[in-house]
Amino acid sequence: MALPDFKKTAQDKTAVPEWAKYLKEGEFISRSVTYKCRAYLDLFDEYVYPCTETGDIKYYVFDPVKHGADPDKKYSVVMFLHGASNSLMGKDCVMCCGAEQYASPKYQEEMGGAYIIVPCANEKRLENGDIEGTWGDTRLPYHIPVKAIFDKVADKNRDNIGKKFVLGASSGGYFTWRLLEEYPDYFDGAVPIASGYVPDEESLLKIGESKSRILVMHGKHDEMADFDRCIAPFLGVFERMGNCELFLPEWVYNGDGGVASVFYGFEMGQHCMINWVQANLVFDDGRVADERLPGGVTGWIRKIAEIK
């Protein structure tokens, strides 16, 4: 899969997206997020999990107790799975995958506190620009070391571990679905975002019988994972699942209220639903993206975390 090198390529903030023709009067294009990036990266510690099958897996962990949370309470564990090429960005992967903002004092309070895990796929950029070794690389049994990493963090902090969540966008969304297929009763909550892959009907219905609560998030103008191909055919099955909620907005926005555009050789702003997740589905003026999710993603996590 050919993707731009985000370390070397600058964003073109003058390009006009193809979907701009569908904007209504009063709607405008926004080319920058409004939350502060790289503010909480130092709160994440780096580790390496040895693995023969996939190569050693680097991963980052935010520990709420280490950073002042009550050591006598239990906290959710949320794993964030990055999109293709993000692991090539070093620790900035924590920012790009959405995890960084969830280590902020505000989001931690809204969730009721949470451990955060960010594993990194062993990606490699080939000479033609393709990315090898993404979470979607079916040659690699990534599910084995990734679950082992989750287990290791949970075991190390067993006295403080509550509900378990996994959240991933793009190829991370693909891998979120794959983890649900492999371990249907392991997670209490899962959020597949902008995924180009959705399991077949039989697999979805099996996931629907599990304990996991699922929140599917996908924009209707997604440039890389076409909504009509990736989501529309499954809407009936999602409705039949007893544990599935949907956030399928017409537009993915930035906090300033503008429709999100990200152009690095091609447009991907509406695919970058993870930026909207980092803003917690709340506009800068306090408006919520969806009245069914009044607390955004942090509120959704807390609601599940508090279920007895």
pLDDT by residue (tens digit) across 168-201? 999 999 999 999 999 999 999 999 999 999 999 9
Whether the pLDDT of residue 1 is over 60: the answer is: no
The reported pLDDT for the residue numbered 2 is 62
Average pLDDT over residues 244-269: 97
pLDDT by residue (tens digit) across 51-61? 999 999 999 99
Average pLDDT over residues 153-163: 98
The reported pLDDT for the residue numbered 9 is 78
SS3 sequence of the chain:
CECCCCCCCCCCCCCCCHHHHHCCCCCCEECCCCCCCCCCHHHEEEEEECCCCCCCEEEEEECCCCCCCCCCCCEEEEEEECCCCHHHHCCHHHHHCCCHHHHCHHHHHHHCCEEEEEECCCCEECCCCEEECCCCCCCCCCHHHHHHHHHHHHHHCHHHEEEEEEEEECHHHHHHHHHHHHCCCCCCEEEEECCCCCCCHHHHHHHHCCCCEEEEECCCCCCCCCHHHHCHHHHHHHHHCCCEEEECCCCCECCCCCEECCECCCECCCCCHHHHHHCCCECCCCCECCCCCCCHHHHHHHHHHCCC
Whether the pLDDT of residue 5 is over 90: the answer is: no
The reported pLDDT for the residue numbered 193 is 98
